[in-house]
Amino acid sequence: MKDHYDFSKGKRGAVLPTPGKERITIRLDADILDYFREAVDRAGGGNYQTAINAVLREYLEGKKAAPQIEEIVRRVIREELRKAS
């Protein structure tokens, strides 16, 4: 290891930015975050930020926020598999 490292030209943020995404700071109610974190956990994992983004996109596109039948079936199967293990 070196005794000294030069970070004077370093930049903050993600090393590789995600195309089409922008990093922001937003304040959301704690119960909203809890809802999405728990929903992702019940679904077997994922990213709660992606889930929030999907709901916002559905709203903007005028789609109903009701879950599709495929999503419901997948969720029920995941829940049953968890109970069985």
DSSP-assigned letters across all residues of 58-77? HHHTT---SPPHHHHHHHHH
Averaged in consecutive runs of 10 residues, what is the pLDDT profile of the chain (85 residues)? 88 78 92 95 93 90 69 88 88
The parent domain of residue 57 ranges over: 30-84
Tell me the C-alpha distance between 18 and 35, whole Å.
25
pTM of the model as a whole: 0.55
16 falls within a domain: no
Tell me the C-alpha distance between 14 and 9, whole Å.
15
63 falls within a domain: yes
20 falls within a domain: no
44 falls within a domain: yes
55 falls within a domain: yes
1 falls within a domain: no
51 falls within a domain: yes
Tell me the C-alpha distance between 70 and 67, whole Å.
8
Tell me the C-alpha distance between 71 and 32, whole Å.
20
80 falls within a domain: yes
The total number of structural domains in the chain stands at: 1
